[in-house]
């Protein structure tokens, strides 16, 4: 009996050490282990991408960061996600677009399938004003998904505001997608502290990279992009999925492998 007690004691020491070093969720006894609550999500429309996010899409009640250089396909992917949010909840189809650069094109958004009648576009003058408007829109709980473009170019107060935003997101039943364009390292250090803070606060961080253009008989028909999970609280970081965006009057998604 004493030998068994010693083994249990040693096991408890090992578990305590693991929990102290990594986290309480790193090692748990079977009796203590509780399945994590199911988190709702909005599908991206790409099954292969949904499969690697760990949430089956963009998580509700949490921040998702989508970063990528220009022409990587992040805007198109984001618009397609807005469309999915509208389709998934016909009773609450309102989605919002925080458009700080002022570059949103209604024609292209419509071609991505977004119902313009159920799209609210917000064009605040500064990132700080955008955060205030975003917080108020979240509190109203009328939107299913919010896409914020250019928000991470804010000043020194941005990390604290993002932390507030993350707490507001809880129980909001809304997915917040932040778009981020990586900048040169010197500029990151100089005046853009928001990106690091966003990575910390995001439950899911996706990185988009255009792989190649798709052409057919010398005319451009679309492009193929790789979406990599840089960080996921539920999924495996490092996994990537290929997606194809095809233009034919309307913007279409195409499953690929």
Give the H/E segment covering residue 10: helix 2-21
Give yes or no for residue 57 binding another protein (CB under 8 A). no
Applying CB under 8 A, which of residues 37, 125, 184, 185 lies at the interface with another protein? Answer: 125
Residue 128 lies near another protein (rule: CB under 8 A): no
**Which positions from 97 to 116 touch another protein by CB under 8 A, shown as an x/- string?**
-------xxxxxxx--x--x
CA nearest to 225, candidates 72, 70, 78:
72
Spacing of C-alpha 105 from chain mean position:
21
Indicate whether 15 belongs to the interface with another protein (CB under 8 A). no
The stretches of 112-184 forming alpha helices (DSSP H) are 127-140, 158-169
Least spacing, CB of residue 31 vs another protein, in Å: 47
Per-residue binder mask for another protein (CB under 8 A), 209-248, x = binder? --------x------------------------------x
Q: How far is the CB of 248 from another protein (least distance, A)?
A: 7
The helix/strand count (H/E) of the chain reads as 8, 11
Q: How far apart are CA 184 and CA 99, in angstroms?
A: 22
* Nearest distance from C-beta of residue 245 to another protein, angstroms: 13
Taking each helix axis from N to C end, the angle separating 194-201 and 158-169, rounded to the nearest 10 degrees, works out to 20
- Alpha-carbon distance 155 to 191, whole Å? 7
Query: Residue 59 and residue 79: Cα distance in Å, rounded?
Result: 16
CB 103 to another protein: min, Å:
11
Nearer to another protein, 169 or 202 (CB): 169
User: Site residues (CB under 8 A) for another protein?
Assistant: 87, 94, 96, 104-110, 113, 116-125, 129, 132-133, 136-137, 140, 142-143, 217, 248-250, 252
């Amino acid at each position: 009996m004493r030998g068994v007690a010693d083994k249990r004691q040693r096991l408890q020491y090992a578990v305590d050490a693991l929990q102290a070093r990594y986290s309480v969720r790193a090692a748990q006894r079977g009796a203590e282990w509780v399945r994590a609550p199911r988190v709702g999500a909005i599908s991206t429309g790409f099954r292969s991408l949904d499969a690697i996010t760990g949430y089956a899409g963009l998580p509700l009640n949490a921040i998702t960061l989508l970063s990528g250089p220009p022409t990587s396909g992040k805007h198109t992917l984001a618009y397609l996600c807005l469309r999915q949010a509208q389709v998934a909840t016909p009773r609450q189809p309102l989605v919002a677009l925080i458009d700080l650069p002022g570059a949103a094109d209604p024609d292209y958004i419509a071609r991505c399938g977004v119902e313009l009648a159920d799209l609210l576009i917000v064009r605040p003058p500064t990132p700080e004003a955008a955060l205030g408007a975003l917080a108020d829109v979240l509190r109203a709980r009328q939107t299913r998904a919010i896409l914020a473009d250019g928000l991470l170019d804010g000043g020194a107060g941005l990390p604290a505001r993002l932390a507030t935003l993350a707490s507001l997101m809880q129980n909001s039943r809304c997915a917040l997608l932040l778009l981020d364009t990586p900048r040169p390292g010197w500029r990151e250090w100089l005046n853009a502290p928001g990106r690091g803070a966003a990575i910390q606060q995001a439950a899911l961080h996706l990185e988009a990279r255009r792989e190649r253009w798709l052409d057919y008989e010398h005319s451009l028909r679309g492009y193929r992009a790789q979406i990599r999970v840089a960080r996921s609280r539920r999924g495996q970081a490092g996994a990537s999925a290929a997606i194809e965006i095809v233009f034919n009057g309307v913007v279409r998604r195409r499953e690929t492998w």
